[in-house]
C-alpha cells in the first residue's frame, strides 16, 4: 500500500494543510484601504481607487467591511439585531451622529468584491431607511502591508 501517493494521499494533504486564521476585526494593524461616502459612486469605482492608492486594497485578502449609519436612538438595537442575521457585529463609531441621532458602525469580515460590496451597501441603505435613519457610507480595513 502506498504511503502518500495517489488520490488518498492528495486528500490527506489537502485536509492537513493549515488554513489561514480568519481576519480578526480587533487587530491593531488594520488600516482603511478603501472607502466611499458618496451615494452615486459605484463600489467598483471605489475599489479600483483603493487598489491604486496607499495603503492599497488587496482584492484577494479578507477585509473588515464597515457600514456607517445614523439612526434614531430607539432603533439602534433593532438595526444591530437585523444586521447580526447577516453576520454583522457592532463596532465603536469614530464620529458622533447629528442631532437626535445615534452613530452606528456595523462590520463583518469578508473577501470584498464589487458585486458583494454593492449588495451589502444596498442592504444597509434599506435597513437604515426602514428604521428612519441614513446609511452614510462604507469603508474596508485590511492589515498594513508587512504587518503579520
pTM, two decimals, is 0.84
pLDDT bin (cut points 50, 70, 90) of residue 16 is: low
What residues does each domain of the chain span?
22-143
Q: Given this model, what pLDDT does residue 13 score?
A: 61
Q: What is the pLDDT of residue 134?
A: 96
pLDDT band at 96 (very low <50, low <70, confident <90, very high): confident
Q: What is the pLDDT of residue 12?
A: 61
The pLDDT of residue 10: 66
How confident is the model at residue 118, as a pLDDT? Answer: 97
Q: What is the DSSP string of the chain?
A: --SS-HHHHHHHHHHHSPPPPPPPTT-TTEEEEEEE--TTS-HHHHHHHHHHSSSPP-TTSEEEEEEEEEE-GGGHHHHHHHHHTTT-EEE--SS---TT-EEEEEEEEEE--HHHHHHHHHHHHHHHHHTT-EEEEEEEEEEPTT--
CATH 3.10.20.30 fits 22-143, yes or no: no
Cα–Cα distance, 17 to 102 (Å, whole number):
45
Amino acid at each position: 500500500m502506498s504511503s502518500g501517493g495517489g488520490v488518498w494521499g492528495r486528500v490527506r494533504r489537502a485536509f492537513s494543510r493549515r488554513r489561514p486564521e480568519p481576519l480578526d476585526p480587533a487587530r491593531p494593524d488594520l488600516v482603511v484601504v478603501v472607502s466611499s461616502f458618496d451615494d452615486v459612486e459605484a463600489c467598483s469605482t471605489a475599489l479600483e481607487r483603493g487598489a491604486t492608492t496607499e495603503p492599497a486594497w488587496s482584492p484577494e485578502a479578507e477585509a473588515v467591511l464597515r457600514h456607517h449609519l445614523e439612526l434614531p436612538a430607539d432603533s439602534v438595537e433593532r438595526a444591530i439585531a437585523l444586521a447580526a442575521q447577516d453576520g454583522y457585529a457592532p463596532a465603536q463609531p469614530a464620529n458622533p451622529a447629528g442631532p437626535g441621532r445615534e452613530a452606528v458602525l456595523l462590520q463583518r469580515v469578508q473577501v470584498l468584491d464589487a458585486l458583494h460590496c454593492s449588495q451589502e451597501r444596498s442592504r444597509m441603505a434599506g435597513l437604515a431607511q426602514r428604521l428612519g435613519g441614513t446609511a452614510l457610507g462604507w469603508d474596508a480595513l485590511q492589515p498594513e502591508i508587512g504587518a503579520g
